[in-house]
Amino acid sequence: MPSALTIRLQIEAALADRIPSALTPGPRILRPMMPTGIDSVDELLGGGLPVGALTEMIGAECTGRTSLALSFAAQITRVEKVCAWVDVSNALSPESAAACGVDLARLLWVRCGVASAKQGPQHSESFTLPEKYRVPPTVKKGLHGGGMGSHPRGEAKGMDDAVSGLLRPAVMTARCAESQRNVRAENEVFKPIAREQFTSEPILRSSGASGHGRPWSRIEQALKVTDLLLQAGGFAAIVLDMASIAPEHALRIPLATWFRYRAAAERTQASVLLLTQYACSKSSAGLVLRLTSKDPLNEGTTVLAGFNRRVEVSRQRFAQVSAGPEKVVSIRKPPQRAGIATWRSETAWVGRR
Amino acid sequence: MNGQRELYVCLYAKEFPAQAMLRLRPEIREKVVVVMEGEPPFQTVCSMNGKAHRMGVECGMTRVEVDIFDSVTFLMRSMPEEAAARTALLECAGTFSPRVEDQSDRGEFLCVIDIEGIEKLFGVPQAIAQNLLQRMRALGVIASVAVSSNFHTAICHARARPTQTAIIAQGNETLALAPLPIAVLDLSEEHTATFTSWGICTLGALAELPENELVARLGQEGKRLRQLARGELPHLFVSMETEFRLQERIELDAPVELLESLLFVVGVMLEQLILRATSRVLAMASVTIALTLEGGESHVRTVRPALPNNDRQLWIKLIHLDLEAHPPQAAIVSLVLTAESGNTSKVQLGLFSPQLPEPMRLDVTLARIRAIVGEDCVGRAVLTDTHRLDSFRMEPFTISSPQTSYLMLARSSESDKSPAAGRQLRSIEKVVVTLRRLQPIAFEFRNRRYQVECAYGPWLTCGEWWNPMLWNEEQWDLIARADDGDLFCCCLVRDLVQSSWQMVALYD
């Protein structure tokens, strides 16, 4: 009686010319994952974000990219690894990071596009007494007690206008006994103030370097810094935060850059996270997550409670296929993954309910 | 003196002004080098290297006289450089014994080390002498060594035989000194003339003279000279405190503007500093480079990596990046490198410890990043204790040692929730707000109009009313929707001091 192994070998040998090693399951490569700290997302991704690969998180503003990335960074710092945050728009809030559980001592924060001169308090306002309240200078007088001022002949100029200004129709009508035409006072109408009028004050306070302006130098700085960090090695995660960069700028980054990052991440076993508004890294990304906004949480009536987030897997390069011989193609369509997960993102000030 | 055995090592370096200058200029060591002193045009030769000596250059020659020799390199004597070199040599001598006496004269380096009782540490006198010479050579100085139980015998022998190592056994001092010329005794002109007229040329001849007759003719000085020649003059050892200060100084021959040329010099100086630190099993914790610029101004920079280290290439790179980021405003005339010593760093690696950046490499990486984004834009954020929005300070990023106790807590706080994060808008962007009953109902931001669905607030915050940095703000958390249905959540602030609206954060 031949054993099962012998039979298997015989079958494989018979089918070798058509199907090589037909009954031997192919070797499975277990790719390491790092959890994000959100159960539903980890379950969707089969354990978390891939280590040694490029992960791209796409979405518009307010879709939860930063929350997800910070949650991932918190998991990394919790196991005492270090993480780097390359902030293209200088938009990371350390308070939010700390609230998400990130150990700030293990987070290297690189702020791009910030001139060193702008450091320190941003709302520096100083108070100086206007000149008119100071002790007046001694009045210089001319030879005959006059002079050193406007000429007396100019004093009466404009007097007519001033007097007519004082004698407004309302003042006049109140004193006049004769009947007047009833002039309807116009109702005050609420209108949005014209942009030009309203924005005059804030614009004065801006110091020139608008964060929404030319982002090229900042992007260039960020790409160089990411290169250096990947070369240095030792960082478990490097987050390239381009979440506030418009797609037309982000798409101009050459694809070779992302390919280089992918290779470097694989070599140094670092997770490179890319936060963008539009998919930039194309085929270099090991995982592409698309985040979309859902409704805010309406539980709290007095404070902002949080949001419902939704994430969808757009691309997963090394998806862990369920157990079973991979070479056997089933006749039926295998069960498809849902590819969508939701979670709640609560603000730090909301109490437990 | 008090019956105890004595043993001294005399360390002697001749032509010290030239040697001190050539120590940090390895590129001209093989050339004919002459060191001049004095104010031009009355400069005279004060020291030279061996090649110049063999060509016939002598001390006291004027510049015109030296100019007749071919391819002579002229250097100006630098007393600060000599002092720095002398400190380095004395400090090296101090690593052998704490009892060191400096007997240096104007144009030579001479120190005597009391090595009695250190045989167990450093071996026999022969080994100590060899070790000492080797260390001197590493410091860039050619020296001679003489070991004797008499202080002055060691000095005389080292001066007379500047290329040899001599070990003089106890009791053999007179014999060893006998062939040496009497010039090693630093005689006055009068005594030199007297001895010449007597036909006394060597110390042996002087030692043979009868003591009483010599005293009758030359007084007590005659007795002292005779004792010196016989190797019997006692000496009260006055040990000096050798200062351990890692400092090197060089005065450049011509003002340097190129950073690369400067780094070549810095490399040589760093090598010397590292050598001195290593000899004491120390590492350099920080290096301060003080540049004297043309016009008398100075430019001082300090480089401090995360861990003390002795890697020369790393130090050069760090100094390079620092000087690139903060370049001096004029050409450099001289530079002083001062290092602070620290304990040699030991890194304990563990099988289960997480992978972290290598500290030395990280220092260079951070310096490079600083050069790209600016000095204060790299590091770790530290929150400050205030209610003011977005208040933090940056500190240098360092890697603290891991504590494995946290490893088990990796997934302890997982749930289906995550805290909502805010993105700070630090540059002021235009926002147009429409109010109804003092509540925002719509706003226009980045050329899009949003209708507010829900407004939480106003949350009032104020502080520091006691100084000009006061703030008084009204915060609104807004949930708004754009015309195309996109959700937009933001934090809007009304500055009550200036009565202006500003978008400060987006909830992402």
The CA distance from A251 to A255, in Å, is 9
Is the C-alpha dihedral spanning A55, A61, A65, A69 positive or negative? positive
Question: What's at A56, amino acid-wise?
Answer: E
Q: Using DSSP bridges, classify how beta strands A83-87 and A107-111 pair: parallel, antiparallel or unpaired.
A: parallel
Task: For chain B, state the CA radius of gyration.
Answer: 36
Name the percent of chain A lying above pLDDT 90. Answer: 39
Q: Which of A207-211, B315-319, B423-427, B476-480 has the lowest mean pLDDT?
A: A207-211
The CA distance from B258 to B348, in Å, is 41
Same-domain pairing of B105 and B185: yes
Same-domain pairing of B21 and B76: yes
Residue B357, preceding peptide bond in cis (omega within 30° of 0) = no
What is the distance in angstroms between the Cα of A319 and the nearest Cα belonging to chain B? 22
Query: Exposed e or buried b for every residue in B348-368, given b needs 16+ CB within 10 A?
Result: eeeeeebebbebbebbbbbbb
Q: Say which residue, B83 or B3, is predicted with more confidence.
A: B83
**Token pair in block for residue A27:** 């070797």
Question: Residues A284, A271: contact at Cβ < 8 Å?
Answer: no
Q: What is the mean pLDDT of residues A81-105?
A: 93
Predicted confidence at residue A285, as pLDDT, reads 93
Same-domain pairing of B194 and B330: no
Q: If contacts are CB pairs under 8 Å, which of residues 327-346 in chain A contact chain B?
A: 343-346
Predicted confidence at residue A338, as pLDDT, reads 75
Residue B247 lies in a domain: no
Residue B95's CB is within 10 A of a number of other CB atoms, namely: 17
CA dihedral A260, A263, A266, A272 (to 10 degrees): 20
Tens-place pLDDT, residues A142-158? 545 444 555 555 555 55
Predicted confidence at residue B26, as pLDDT, reads 87
Tens-place pLDDT, residues B366-376? 999 998 998 88
Same-domain pairing of B17 and B152: yes
Residue B390 lies in a domain: no
Predicted confidence at residue A204, as pLDDT, reads 28
Surface-to-core class of residue B189, CB atoms within 10 Å of its CB (0-12 exposed, 13-18 middle, 19+ buried): exposed
A contacts of B432 (beta carbons < 8 Å)? 192-193, 195, 198-199
CB contact under 8 A, B379 and A221: no
Q: Which of A68-82, A123-137, B337-351 has the lowest mean pLDDT?
A: A123-137
Residue B490's CB is within 10 A of a number of other CB atoms, namely: 26
Q: Say which residue, A312 or B468, is predicted with more confidence.
A: A312
Surface-to-core class of residue A3, CB atoms within 10 Å of its CB (0-12 exposed, 13-18 middle, 19+ buried): exposed
The CA distance from A100 to A92, in Å, is 12
**Token pair in block for residue B45:** 């030769």
Q: What is the mean pLDDT of residues A318-340?
A: 67
CA dihedral B51, B52, B55, B56 (to 10 degrees): -140
Half-sphere exposure of B459 (CA within 13 A, CB side): 16
Name the percent of chain B lying above pLDDT 90. Answer: 26
Residue B496 lies in a domain: yes
Same-domain pairing of B310 and B437: no
Domain span at residue B479 reads 422-507
Residue B119 lies in a domain: yes
Is the C-alpha dihedral spanning B253, B257, B263, B266 positive or negative? positive
Same-domain pairing of B100 and B223: yes
All structural domains of chain A: 39-113+210-317 (3.40.50.300)
| Residue B311 confidence (pLDDT) above 50 | yes
Same-domain pairing of B213 and B263: no
CB contact under 8 A, B498 and A205: yes
Q: Say which residue, A117 or A214, is predicted with more confidence.
A: A214
What is the distance in angstroms between the Cα of A204 and the nearest Cα belonging to chain B? 10
Q: How many domains does chain B have?
A: 3
Question: Residues A266, A313: contact at Cβ < 8 Å?
Answer: no
The CA distance from A282 to A335, in Å, is 26
The CA distance from B223 to B241, in Å, is 32
| Residue B131 confidence (pLDDT) above 60 | yes
| Residue B267 confidence (pLDDT) above 60 | yes
| Residue B30 confidence (pLDDT) above 80 | yes
A245-254 long-range contacts, Cβ below 8 Å, gap at least 24?
A245/A88, A245/A89, A245/A215, A245/A219, A245/A276, A245/A277, A246/A215, A246/A277, A247/A276, A247/A277, A247/A278, A249/A215, A249/A216, A249/A219, A250/A219, A250/A276, A250/A277, A250/A278, A250/A280, A251/A278, A251/A280, A253/A219, A253/A223, A253/A280
Q: What is the mean pLDDT of residues B9-31?
A: 89
Using a cut of 0.95, tell me whether the model's pTM lies above it.
no
Question: Residues B283, B342: contact at Cβ < 8 Å?
Answer: yes
Question: Residues B433, B357: contact at Cβ < 8 Å?
Answer: no
Question: Residues B112, B145: contact at Cβ < 8 Å?
Answer: no
| Residue A350 confidence (pLDDT) above 90 | no
Instruction: Supply the mean pLDDT for chain A.
Output: 77
Distance separating the N- and C-terminal Cα atoms of chain B:
86
Predicted confidence at residue A84, as pLDDT, reads 96
Tens-place pLDDT, residues A25-61? 777 778 889 999 999 999 888 889 999 999 999 999 8
The CA distance from A80 to B353, in Å, is 9
Per-residue pLDDT band for A164 (boundaries 50, 70, 90) equals low
Predicted confidence at residue B361, as pLDDT, reads 87
What is the distance in angstroms between the Cα of A72 and the nearest Cα belonging to chain B? 10
The CA distance from B354 to B356, in Å, is 6
Per-residue pLDDT band for A262 (boundaries 50, 70, 90) equals very high
Tokens 């005293």, residue located: B215
Range list of H helices, B392-465:
none
Predicted confidence at residue A209, as pLDDT, reads 36
Same-domain pairing of B162 and B293: no
Same-domain pairing of B336 and B204: no
Q: Which of A49-58, B116-125, B269-278, B329-338 has the lowest mean pLDDT?
A: B116-125
Q: What is the mean pLDDT of residues B435-463?
A: 89
Q: Say which residue, A129 or B114, is predicted with more confidence.
A: B114
Same-domain pairing of B169 and B275: no
CB contact under 8 A, B355 and A81: yes
Chain B residue at shortest CA distance from A113: B373
CB contact under 8 A, B432 and A111: no
A contacts of B410 (beta carbons < 8 Å)? 35, 75, 78-79
Residue B210 lies in a domain: yes
**Token pair in block for residue B445:** 């931001």
What is the distance in angstroms between the Cα of A105 and the nearest Cα belonging to chain B? 6
Predicted confidence at residue B480, as pLDDT, reads 92
Predicted confidence at residue B409, as pLDDT, reads 44
Q: For the sheet containing B417-419, what is the strand order?
A: B392-395, B378-383, A107-111, A83-87, A237-241, A271-276, A54-58, A287-296, A306-316, A340-346, B417-419
Predicted confidence at residue A206, as pLDDT, reads 31
Question: Residues A40, A343: contact at Cβ < 8 Å?
Answer: yes
Per-residue pLDDT band for A126 (boundaries 50, 70, 90) equals low
∠ at Cα B409 (B403, B411), nearest 5°? 140
Q: For the sheet containing B32-37, what is the strand order?
A: B44-48, B32-37, B72-76
**Token pair in block for residue A158:** 């404009």
Residue B15 lies in a domain: yes
Q: What is the mean pLDDT of residues B144-163?
A: 88
Predicted confidence at residue A91, as pLDDT, reads 93
Per-residue pLDDT band for A92 (boundaries 50, 70, 90) equals very high
Surface-to-core class of residue A152, CB atoms within 10 Å of its CB (0-12 exposed, 13-18 middle, 19+ buried): exposed
| Mutate which: A36, A110, A122, A295, vs B, most B CBs within 10 A | A110
**Nearest CB to B380; choose among A108, A123, A346:** A108
Q: Say which residue, B78 or A200, is predicted with more confidence.
A: B78
A contacts of B399 (beta carbons < 8 Å)? 82, 106
| Residue A123 confidence (pLDDT) above 60 | no
Backbone angles phi, psi at A292, to 5 degrees: -130, 155
Q: Say which residue, B227 or A129, is predicted with more confidence.
A: B227
CB contact under 8 A, B419 and A90: no
DSSP state, residue A283: G
Backbone angles phi, psi at A129, to 5 degrees: -70, 130
The CA distance from A80 to B296, in Å, is 50
Per-residue pLDDT band for B105 (boundaries 50, 70, 90) equals confident
The CA distance from A20 to A326, in Å, is 13
**Nearest CB to A202; choose among B354, B430, B442:** B430
| Residue B445 confidence (pLDDT) above 70 | yes
Tens-place pLDDT, residues B175-230? 888 888 888 888 888 888 988 899 888 888 888 888 888 899 888 888 999 998 88
Per-residue pLDDT band for B411 (boundaries 50, 70, 90) equals very low
Q: If contacts are CB pairs under 8 Å, which of residues 267-286 in chain A contact chain B?
A: 269
Predicted confidence at residue B355, as pLDDT, reads 80
Q: Write the CB contacts of A154 (distance below 8 Å, at least 6 apart in sequence).
A: none
Same-domain pairing of B314 and B461: no
The CA distance from B213 to B205, in Å, is 14
Q: What is the mean pLDDT of residues B3-14?
A: 84
| Mutate which: A104, A108, A238, vs B, most B CBs within 10 A | A108
Distances (CA, A) of B310 to B93, B131, B284, B286: 21, 22, 6, 10
Tens-place pLDDT, residues B350-387? 777 778 888 888 989 999 999 899 888 999 999 998 88
| Residue B348 confidence (pLDDT) above 80 | no
Which residue, among A48, A36, A33, has the nearest Cα to A75 in the 3D structure? A36
Among left, alpha and beta (phi > 0; psi -120 to 50; other), residue B464 is: left
CB contact under 8 A, A38 and B416: yes
Residue A265's CB is within 10 A of a number of other CB atoms, namely: 24
Half-sphere exposure of A338 (CA within 13 A, CB side): 10
Q: Within an 8 Å CB–CB cutoff, is residue A307 touching chain B?
A: yes
Residue B132 lies in a domain: yes
Q: What is the mean pLDDT of residues B28-57?
A: 88
Residue B393 lies in a domain: no
DSSP state, residue A148: S
Distances (CA, A) of B60 to B18, B41, B44, B192: 14, 14, 5, 21
Q: What is the CATH number of the domain that holds B52?
A: 3.30.70.270
Q: What is the CATH number of the domain that holds B314?
A: 3.30.1490.100
Largest interatomic CA distance in chain B: 122
Largest interatomic CA distance in chain A: 140
Query: Given B325, B343, B361, which residue is the final one in a domain?
Result: B343
Please list the residues that pair with B481 across neighbouring strands.
B451, B487
Beta strands in chain A (DSSP E): 33-34, 49-50, 54-58, 83-87, 107-111, 237-241, 271-276, 287-296, 306-316, 340-346
Instruction: Supply the mean pLDDT for chain B.
Output: 87
| Residue A118 confidence (pLDDT) above 70 | no
Residue B133's CB is within 10 A of a number of other CB atoms, namely: 17
Which residue, among B413, B375, B372, B412, has the nearest Cα to B394 in the 3D structure? B375
Is B24 in a helix, a strand, or coil? Answer: coil
Same-domain pairing of B123 and B23: yes
Tens-place pLDDT, residues A292-305? 988 888 766 688 88
